[in-house]
Structure 1
Amino acid sequence: MYRIFAVIQRVALAVGIAVSVYSCNSSDKMSDSGLPVCAVTADLDSLFQRIFPDADGPGGIAIVMHHDTIIYRHAFGVADLQTMVPVTDSTLFNLSSASKIFTSAALLKLCERGMISLDDSLSRFFPEFECDVFDKITIRHILTHSSGLPDLRPRNQAEWNKYKSAHGSVFALGEDYARYGTGTEFMHSFQNMKTAEFVPGTHCDSQDAAYILVAPLIERVTRVDFDDWMSENIFRPAGMREAFYYTYDGGLPATAHAYRPARRDTSPLVFRSDDGKWEEYDLGEVPYFLTRADRGVYGSARDFMQWNRALYSGKIISDSSLAAMNTPYVATEIPMVSFGLGGAVRREPGFPDKSYHMNTNGGYAIVEGSWPQEKLHYIVFANRADWNQRDVTYEIDSIFRAKNFLR
């Protein structure tokens, strides 16, 4: 029965893809700028079919929106290798580092309400931590990855023994702490910290440890549970019906499972596909998977595009706050790329600025980018991370340039 069901799913997926591509290519509608709606279809199909080649394997969803009109939408592969349910634009993925865009918007909204300033020191909100360190670190430093806060969460047995001796833990084993710990537990790693890795604001480091502090910061300022506040003030005003933060007691709705190529040394308790090619690689397998403010959002592709509509039409934060979010502040090691507030900004001579995120969380992978000046947005959500996200972003950029979407 399972095999028959899988075959039916693959046939249905193939038919759906064929209909989608045909209807798009045969359309004679024009976009607001006068470009054919599907000018990029063939090139994008070629790109994504190369990185998501298997209709019965893990895959992804890609969407392009131009002037609030969806001009490309194509799903590849399956969301769950046990049920063989295909990926669609309503499939829920972990959004990895793109979760930070919601965090940034939340903090900017609190600034607009006069409840905080981006230049407030962290000592205002966390008086229990070493003031000599936290007095010098601001909210802005967190958003621009320039806080200098090290990631002191234990990574090996010796570090775990030292951590547990200093802080205690609800977990008996370091492996369980890493796999199932939450932000509340991880905050203990900042206790008794005597020094930062560098002077705040002078360098950047994209590790996510500092973002652990954002959820409790928002809770202390608003006196509302972080998840509830984000739902009421960020997701709901944006018209996002499917986005949520995972909590153990709340359970996990049906989502895409994430996978990686199977390894010989993986525990036999981890799910492996029937053909032996893939093993599950998400909650329970990935160290430090569960932190909310930096990479904790689950959402669908259609919901994220709804977010872009709302964000860039002034429904979430003011125009001045949006401009601040997309301003480059701290240079990275990547040429022409700096960190803005909660994301990366690419400023290349001769082309409009691009704001984007690109990262993985276990087997989940995401690239998303926006050129606000051109009202052009794209997303790629995937439940396999065995592809080069940076190369794909460059290829997508090249396609848009070749079709004169970027001027």
Structure 2
Amino acid sequence: MSTPFLERGVLLLARGDELLVDRVVGAADETSGRPCTPATRFQIASISKQMAAVAVLLLAERGALRLTDPVTRWLPGTPPPEWSGITLHHLLTHTSGLGHWEEYPAVDLHGPAEPDELLGRFAALPPLFPPGTGWHYSSPGYVLLARTVERASGRPYAGFLAEEVFAPLGMTGSFAGAGDDRPDVAVGHEDGRPVPSWDLATVSMGAGDVWCTAADLLTWLDVPRRGRLLTPASVTALTTPHAPTGRPGEAYGYGFFVGPLAGRRAVHHSGDNGGYKAFAAWLPDSDERLVLLANQAEVNPAAVTSVLDAV
């Protein structure tokens, strides 16, 4: 089938366990001419928040932390008093009052940054509202969750994901952090030209730091779809509409948007890092899973939903 909105990347659509669309196009690296293949790993950008949410839920299941814990319990030093009422639940649902990247102009997304210095830049500005009283999408909030996972588990965040999340699911093409010296990684492009990556080791840790193949991301959707990896209660928590986003019929769960997609009930998320776009959705009524991974900035993730009506 034709996908005119996609020049570089992979598009998958499955219904049940049948793969209906499997399209791989364009160059993984325009400079070398290396093509995209099914083995190519792409930055999934903000879809990475789902992995952070699952890591937190795994630790909650083990009693290592509680979702009602104040985040200040898990951060080094002396966090600002304005953060004292912010719980892990608030961070997971974007109801903490913390801002998104545009609210923190002192943060360089290309980094690098020392972890505690990064926290200091977040703490330098007061929250936008008291925790639990509003909704504002916040990647910095998920950076704090990744730091919490490190402190509660006593392990580096990328290592925790590798051993406790990706390996049990068989996601052998996935990893978190910098893509330097890794094979089969796509280079991000804007206007047809390669662009440098954002810093994924620290600045976007937990918020946009994961690389996946399209097949791995399709497997990932089996966490809500088939209840893999987590207890039934934790799976329910992922996709419960905890916090209205202000868009009609839509709310945020833990790392998932919950609401209509192309007029149908769905859990989904998009991702947008410099030079990369990503989209993943599960539509439970039709049991369809849709994955788009692109190493071009010009893709409109909303356009991918047209594929649902074409098969």
- Please report the TM-score for the alignment, with normalisation by the length of structure 1: 0.69
Q: Which amino acid aligns with 2:112?
A: G
Please state if 1:281 is matched with 2:195: yes
8 Å Cα contact 1:238-1:311 kept in structure 2: no
Partner of 1:305: 218
| Larger RCO of the pair (alpha carbons < 8 Å, separation 6+) | 2
8 Å Cα contact 1:259-1:280 kept in structure 2: yes
Unaligned runs of 5+ in 1: 1-44, 53-57, 161-173, 262-277
Partner of 1:205: 136
- Please report the TM-score for the alignment, with normalisation by the length of structure 2: 0.89
8 Å Cα contact 1:244-1:299 kept in structure 2: yes
1:49-106 deviation per Cα after TM superposition (whole angstroms, max 9, x unaligned): x113xxxxx5111111222232221112111112222212211100111111111111
Partner of 1:388: 300
1:238-293 deviation per Cα after TM superposition (whole angstroms, max 9, x unaligned): 00111111248x744341111111xxxxxxxxxxxxxxxx2222416x89995120
Please state if 1:83 is matched with 2:14: no
User: Structure 2 vs 1, CA of residues 253 and 187 (structure 1 numbering), >3 Å: closer, same or farther?
Assistant: farther
8 Å Cα contact 2:275-2:297 kept in structure 1: yes
Superposed displacement of residue 111, structure 1: 1.4
- Cα root mean square deviation, aligned: 2.8
Q: Distance in 1 between matches of 2:143 and 2:60?
A: 19
Q: Distance in 1 between matches of 2:137 and 2:128?
A: 13
For the residue of structure 1 that corresponds to 2:268, the secondary structure is strand
8 Å Cα contact 1:289-1:361 kept in structure 2: no
Partner of 2:206: 293
Partner of 1:63: 12
Unaligned runs of 5+ in 2: none
Superposed displacement of residue 311, structure 1: 5.2
8 Å Cα contact 1:215-1:293 kept in structure 2: yes
Structure whose residues are more often strand by fraction: 2
1:99-140 deviation per Cα after TM superposition (whole angstroms, max 9, x unaligned): 111111111111111222212111221263446322211111
1:333-392 deviation per Cα after TM superposition (whole angstroms, max 9, x unaligned): 3222211111211158x84x3010113101100111002343321101101121322243
Superposed displacement of residue 178, structure 1: 4.2
Kindly name which structure, 1 or 2, has the bigger radius of gyration based on alpha carbons. Answer: 1
User: Structure 2 vs 1, CA of residues 311 and 331 (structure 1 numbering), >3 Å: closer, same or farther?
Assistant: closer
Please state if 1:189 is matched with 2:121: yes
For the residue of structure 1 that corresponds to 2:221, the secondary structure is helix
Superposed displacement of residue 318, structure 1: 1.5
For the residue of structure 1 that corresponds to 2:211, the secondary structure is strand
The equivalent position to 1:355 in structure 2, one of 249, 252, 267, is: 267
The equivalent position to 1:240 in structure 2, one of 171, 174, 186, is: 171
Partner of 1:121: 70
Please state if 1:226 is matched with 2:157: yes
Q: Distance in 2 between matches of 1:110 and 1:293?
A: 15
Partner of 1:368: 280
Partner of 1:258: 188
User: Structure 2 vs 1, CA of residues 223 and 212 (structure 1 numbering), >3 Å: closer, same or farther?
Assistant: same
Q: Which amino acid aligns with 1:51?
A: F
User: Structure 2 vs 1, CA of residues 251 and 287 (structure 1 numbering), >3 Å: closer, same or farther?
Assistant: closer
